[in-house]
């Protein structure tokens, strides 16, 4: 077996499941007798001179805690030089050069970049950073907005976190005959709200991909056979003529219509929680696929799960498959995004369950 030195890095927002992927990669690499280093703090750590790294092996990695949320490698500081701040300062080219030099100095054969659609899009756009090594990406995000993969690391755990949260809310909701308007994360993608909403049998699910009508939502809640329940609202929805948190806007309108309710914001608990089994299986599948890709000297690829099959696709394919939009934080950069499709089965299931999911598919 050819000896290799590989690096692992987590970038973007964290989620549960990152440590499982890292552990499975480290374990698989050790069985191949490869050396592994972890880049700390994502691109922050790579930008540092010298890059901040730690050696990773089964002795240093706490196997027993690999199901815990967060990333043992950390994802980066907010107030530091990164793609966003470098772009703002007009120093992106120099920033990218530094990352490239750091990777060269580390003498890596391969880098496993565990990131969301922002990081994957940047890897596609600034591919020269990774020249001379094998770049293998693993998609992670609670938003599930990465094109061409059926699942991303962290999504199932985020859904479970929301479900547990709503299960608790429903108990107090019943005692007080009131509704809870729960605002989920997900940026401008409705997958998280849709999945959690179906799982808890919410009475309404409002997502950015489908227009909703407040009067019809109110009518639907008033017609419910219960006087308590969950109204799941994705953070990315916009309500014409209103600004502020969507859950608060909807809550005020429900109150004005005489529907007793409260808002609830599970916030970052969605990115935490012990990694659920399906996320651990996904982590094992993606880590195994990534290690094989490195053995085969593949580069500029990402691992995906498609109809039960684990494989790699090129970053070009990933980028071309999504809806391309301007990166809100990086001038000149584009991201490739996936959304809830109008023919998504879960939308039909939700409708059949009597859940209000909005009016017209956009
Ligand atoms: O992309 C993951 C995510 O958790 C989104 O769902 C959310 O809108 C955002 O990150 C929050 O980002 P931050 O950590 O910068 O507050």
Are residue 93 and residue 215 in the same domain, yes or no?
no
Ligand 1: residue whose CA is nearest its atom 12: 13
Are residue 70 and residue 97 in the same domain, yes or no?
yes
Does any domain span residue 361?
no
| Cα three-residue angle 58-155-333, rounded to 5 degrees | 95
Q: How many CB atoms lie within 10 A of CB 170?
A: 18
- Residue 260: CATH number of its domain: 3.40.50.460
Are residue 123 and residue 190 in the same domain, yes or no?
no
Atom of ligand 1 nearest to the CA of 142: 2
Mean pLDDT by 10 residues, the chain (362 residues): 94 96 97 97 94 92 90 86 89 95 97 97 97 98 98 98 98 98 98 98 98 97 97 95 96 98 98 98 98 98 98 98 93 94 97 94 50
Are residue 266 and residue 300 in the same domain, yes or no?
no
Instruction: Give the per-residue pLDDT at 362.
Output: 47
Please indicate whether residue 344 is annotated as part of the active site. no
Instruction: Give the per-residue pLDDT at 98.
Output: 97
Are residue 56 and residue 100 in the same domain, yes or no?
yes
Count structural domains, the chain: 2
* Spatial contact of 54 and 40, defined as CB atoms under 8 Å apart: yes
Does any domain span residue 296?
yes
Q: What residues does ligand 1 touch, defined as CB less than 6 Å away? A: 13, 116, 141-143, 185-187, 235, 271
The domain in which residue 137 lies consists of 5-154+275-321
Are residue 115 and residue 36 in the same domain, yes or no?
yes
Instruction: Give the per-residue pLDDT at 35.
Output: 97
- How far is Cα 179 from Cα 172, in angstroms, rounded to an integer? 10
Atom of ligand 1 nearest to the CA of 235: 8
Instruction: Give the per-residue pLDDT at 247.
Output: 98
Are residue 140 and residue 17 in the same domain, yes or no?
yes
CA proximity to 139, closest of 6, 35, 12, 229: 12
What pTM was computed for the model? 0.97
Instruction: Give the per-residue pLDDT at 38.
Output: 98
Q: How many CB atoms lie within 10 A of CB 268?
A: 13
Percent of all residues in the chain with a pLDDT value above 70, rounded to a whole number = 99
Are residue 143 and residue 288 in the same domain, yes or no?
yes
Are residue 282 and residue 298 in the same domain, yes or no?
yes
Instruction: Give the per-residue pLDDT at 63.
Output: 87
Instruction: Give the per-residue pLDDT at 361.
Output: 52
CA proximity to 133, closest of 312, 12, 4: 4
Are residue 11 and residue 122 in the same domain, yes or no?
yes
């Amino acid at each position: 077996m050819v000896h290799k030195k590989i690096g692992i890095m987590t970038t973007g927002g964290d989620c549960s499941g990152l440590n499982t992927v890292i552990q499975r990669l480290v374990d698989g690499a050790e069985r191949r007798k490869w050396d592994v280093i972890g880049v700390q703090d994502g691109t922050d750590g790579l930008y540092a001179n010298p890059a901040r790294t730690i050696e990773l092996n089964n002795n240093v990695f706490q196997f027993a805690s690999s199901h815990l949320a967060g990333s043992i490698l950390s994802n980066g500081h907010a107030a530091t030089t990164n793609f966003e701040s470098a772009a703002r300062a007009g120093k992106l080219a120099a920033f990218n050069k530094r990352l490239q030099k750091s990777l060269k100095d580390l003498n890596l054969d391969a880098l496993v970049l565990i990131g969301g659609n922002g990081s994957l899009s940047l890897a596609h756009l600034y591919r020269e950073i990774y020249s001379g090594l094998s770049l293998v990406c693993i998609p992670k995000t609670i938003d599930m907005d990465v094109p061409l993969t059926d699942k991303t690391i962290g999504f199932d755990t985020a859904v479970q976190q929301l479900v547990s949260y709503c299960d608790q809310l429903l108990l107090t909701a019943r005692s007080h005959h009131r509704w809870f308007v729960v605002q989920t994360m997900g940026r401008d993608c409705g997958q998280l709200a849709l999945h959690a909403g179906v799982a808890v049998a919410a009475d309404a699910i409002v997502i950015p991909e489908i227009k909703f009508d407040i009067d019809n939502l109110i009518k639907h809640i008033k017609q419910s056979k219960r006087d308590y329940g969950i109204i799941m609202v994705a953070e990315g929805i916009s309500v014409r003529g209103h600004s502020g948190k969507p859950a608060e806007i909807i809550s005020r309108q429900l109150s004005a219509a005489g529907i007793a309710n409260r808002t609830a914001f599970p916030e970052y608990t969605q990115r935490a929680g012990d990694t659920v089994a399906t996320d651990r299986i996904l982590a094992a599948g993606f880590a195994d696929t990534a290690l094989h890709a490195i053995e085969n000297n593949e580069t500029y690829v990402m691992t995906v799960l498609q109809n039960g099959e684990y494989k790699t696709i090129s970053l070009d394919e990933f980028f071309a498959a999504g809806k391309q939009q301007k990166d809100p934080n990086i001038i000149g950069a584009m991201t490739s995004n996936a959304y809830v499709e109008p023919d998504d089965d879960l939308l039909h299931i939700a409708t059949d369950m009597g859940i209000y999911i909005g009016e017209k598919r956009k």
